[in-house]
């Protein structure tokens, strides 16, 4: 069982799923129809969506998952984790009737600039990104403190036993037992890795500070160093 499943079993997280077809108003429980004005694909109808939301009265805010929304990143995940709760409406087909966007949902979220068959996969991504930030969900309360995208940096490299594998050794600093030096090495590696692989994240932080530049130099890591 994964982290989210255990969190639900332990009462640290509640995830409720509601089938929009249960609110369908014809024998086929239809939730979609052809678009007015013609065109390819189908559009999700407003009636079953409004009816389902009104019957369930889900926690607000209610977010539509779609391409026009604010893109999910770690900052947004932290913001959502601070809420008392929220709900997700999964789009499908060519999208939802515009009246759902205009009159029912509170906002729109996106997991990236790509197309999915439906919002269910996007919802799972968002639930995991947010759920793991909640108290008690991860076994170690400090597990999220130094992850990738914390402070707009990629995470430092990790090593475990054996200390040497096929001639490749673990950096000596990690075996030294010198915790302060280990932390400095990790921060330097995190900075160097981000510079090499995601310089846009460094730019978003306003560039390197003088102290960070000195830290890179201490470990012989230049701006162009590839980690």
Mean pLDDT lowest among 30-39, 149-158, 160-169: 149-158
Stronger pLDDT, 14 or 222, i.e. the higher one: 14
pLDDT on residue 150: 65
Give me 222's structure tokens: 């230049």
Distance between CA atoms of 61 and 59, rounded to whole angstroms?
6
Strand, helix or coil for residue 90:
strand
Number of Cα atoms under 13 Å in the Cβ half of residue 120: 9
pLDDT digits (tens, 9 = 90+) for 7-63: 999 999 999 999 999 998 888 899 999 999 999 899 999 999 999 999 999 999 999
pLDDT on residue 224: 45
Burial class for 12, CB neighbours closer than 10 Å (0-12, 13-18, 19+): middle
- Average pLDDT value for residue range 79-106: 95
pLDDT on residue 183: 96
Asked whether the beta carbons of 227 and 194 are under 8 A apart, the reply is: no
Contacts of 135 (CB under 8 A, 6+ apart): 12, 141
Packed helices 74-81 and 119-131: angle between N→C axes, nearest 10 degrees: 70
pTM of the model: 0.83
pLDDT on residue 140: 62
Asked whether the beta carbons of 185 and 155 are under 8 A apart, the reply is: no
- The DSSP code for 172 is G
Asked whether the beta carbons of 52 and 176 are under 8 A apart, the reply is: no
Confidence label for 226 from pLDDT (cuts 50, 70 and 90): very low
């Amino acid at each position: 069982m994964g982290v989210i499943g255990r969190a639900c079993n332990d009462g640290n997280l509640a995830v409720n799923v509601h089938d929009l077809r249960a609110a369908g108003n014809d024998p086929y429980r239809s939730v979609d129809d052809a678009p007015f004005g013609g065109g390819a694909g189908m559009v999700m109808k407003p009636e079953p969506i409004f009816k389902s939301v009104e019957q369930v009265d889900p926690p607000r805010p209610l977010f539509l998952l779609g391409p026009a929304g604010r893109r999910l990143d770690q900052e947004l995940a932290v913001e959502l984790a601070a809420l008392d709760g929220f709900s997700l409406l999964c789009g499908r087909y060519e999208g939802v009737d515009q009246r759902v966007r205009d009159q029912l949902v509170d906002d729109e979220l996106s997991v990236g600039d790509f197309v999915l068959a439906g919002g269910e996969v996007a919802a799972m991504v968002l639930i995991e990104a947010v759920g793991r930030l909640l108290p008690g969900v991860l076994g170690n309360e400090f597990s999220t403190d130094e992850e990738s995208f914390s402070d707009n940096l990629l995470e430092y490299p990790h090593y475990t036993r054996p200390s040497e594998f096929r001639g490749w050794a673990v950096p000596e600093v990690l075996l030294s037992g010198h915790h302060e030096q280990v932390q400095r090495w990790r921060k330097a590696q995190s900075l160097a890795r981000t510079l090499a692989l995601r310089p846009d994240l460094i730019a978003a932080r306003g560039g390197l500070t003088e102290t960070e530049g000195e830290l890179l130099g201490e470990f012989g890591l230049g701006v162009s160093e590839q980690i």
